Amino acid sequence: MVRFDEQVFKPNDIRGVYPRQLHEGFAFMLGVAVVKQFGAKRIVIGRDCRLSSPGLYAALACGIESAGGEVGAADLCPMEMIYYIMGSRNDFDFGIMVTASHNPPQYNGFKLFGQGVRPIDEREGLSRLRPLIETATAPVPDKFTFPPKNVSLETECVRFALKAAGVQDVPRLKVVVDPGNGTGGLLWGALADAAGVRPVAMNFEPDGRFPSHHPNPARLANLEPLKGRVLSEGADIGFAYDGDADRTVAVLSDGQVLDGSAMIVALVERLFAGRPSARCAVNMVTSRKTLDYLRARGQEPLMAPVGHAKIKRAMQAHPDVGFAGEQSGHYLYREFFCCESSLVTSLHLMHLVACGRLASLVREMPGPWFGPRREPEFRFVRRADALATCQEAAMAGLKEFPGPQEIMCEWNAEVHRRCKPADIAQADGVRVDYEDWWFSMRPSGTEPIARLAIEARSKTELQAKRRTLTSLFEASRTA
């Protein structure tokens, strides 16, 4: 019997600390369970560069083969390579990426996808794998054979991304790229071969220790080296990616970091120019700057829950949604199988820079709206405790600040609009909007953390509301 921490099963994927929470024995049995539970016959697998990824990847492949499945081995690759393989070909009926995305080096995990790049999360049967792994009696091998790479579509994927971005010729700009020792540099290597574009490279060598900085570009401290290099090189733009390169952050020529709200606005402007009826999806913690911009264009967005699997499903379920953006740096395109492509995102932004539009778009953003430099977090031992505290604190917040414009609640992996206060008791996440401020409370999908998102039209109001909501949160936590 394989022992592991059951908390590695998250709402969107599998994630945990190696080897305390998950390990090679777990990976082997996961491969067996996927074949049995989903009837998968041909499974493509990839991995990021974490130090634990090669061992987990080899064990996963051995588990799949021991259960009668056939492995397509993509080896070290960015996340969008698995999306491309699953979306563009009928060779495989299942895909698994060994990765912990933006988490610190000691973490690892697995992202699972069915046909049509359908994310396998708790709603699609992810949790049903747990009892199969827990009760498995088959012996786990002492050693695992690393599978030779037999899927190599990097150049083909880059050409597809160029077409998806509508780029005939890549703009000849001076671009600084910092993949943070993750897999993002592999994309630019393939782009250089396909289109002759050679960036100013920082931290391109994949290194699972992430010696340059942690693989989370949403943290401003991790972007300081990139900002400095953009300024010192006199570059037109800079890009940073997370560990598996499915999050993208951009830095302008003056060193300004584009937050998620500005990125979404810029990409909507590029994608939907001349298409007033086009529609996008955003998640529950999206800035009011973005929502105000979209509504001024007459485009009410589809609201989706936070999490890559949930926003993918929302996009796949609504054929009229051509683009989806998450404040955390995930940008999804219908032309790219309703999945993230950091390469498509980068190409779109390079086009906007080349035509002189990106900086002006940022200046024209609605506002002012102010948020904290870093989203407040509250740690728990169990995710269930984080969820319960979010519900209690949100209800306490409504009592403290009555009369909201709208309450949004997530349940059953969908966002429900115009909710009542009583609905919060069953919600997996909540957002409450007022005329001049808003807040959202939700548990993290990858860690036992509760998050408070908040914005206001003035810094004074932001600080006051943050203090009050934090105290309500702490009171709910200890109740």
144 and 57 Cβ atoms separated by less than 8 Å: no
Q: CA–CA separation, 182 vs 180, rounded Å?
A: 5
Alpha helices for 103-195 (secondary structure H): 129-134, 154-164, 184-195
* Rounded Cα distance, 354 and 416, in Å: 40
Distances (CA, A) of 26 to 1, 138, 386, 464: 10, 12, 26, 47
Nearest to 415 by CA among 278, 287, 283: 283
Task: Give the CA-trace dihedral at 301, 306, 309, 315, to 10 degrees.
Answer: 0
* DSSP assignment string, 226-285: HHHHHHHHT-SEEEEE-TTS--EEEEETTSPEE-HHHHHHHHHHHHHTT-TT-EEEEETT
344 in Cβ contact with 161 (< 8 Å):
yes
Give, in degrees to the nearest 5, the angle at Cα 356 between 354 and 358.
Answer: 95
**Active-site annotation holder among 52, 101, 261, 328:** 101
**How many other C-beta atoms can be found within 10 angstroms of the C-beta atom of residue 367?**
14
| Alpha carbons 237 and 243: distance in angstroms, whole number | 20
The full DSSP string for 378-409 is EE-SSHHHHHHHHHHHHHHHHHHS---SEEEE
Q: Which residues of 354-365 are buried (b: 16+ CB within 10 A; e: fewer)?
A: beeebbebbeeb
Does the bond joining 19 to the residue before it have cis omega, within 30 degrees of 0? yes
Beta carbons of 47 and 56 less than 8 angstroms apart: yes
Indicate if 440 belongs to the active site: no
In sequence order, the 6+-apart residues with CB closer than 8 A to the CB of 153 are 74, 81, 84, 85
Give the integer Cα–Cα distance in Å for 272 and 297: 11
> How far is residue 386 from each of residues 2, 15, 477, measured CA to CA in Å?
28, 17, 8
CB atoms within 10 A of CB 199: 22
Token pair for 97 = 């990426």
Q: CB-based contacts of 468: which residues, under 8 Å, 6+ apart?
A: 397, 400
Residues forming the active site? 101
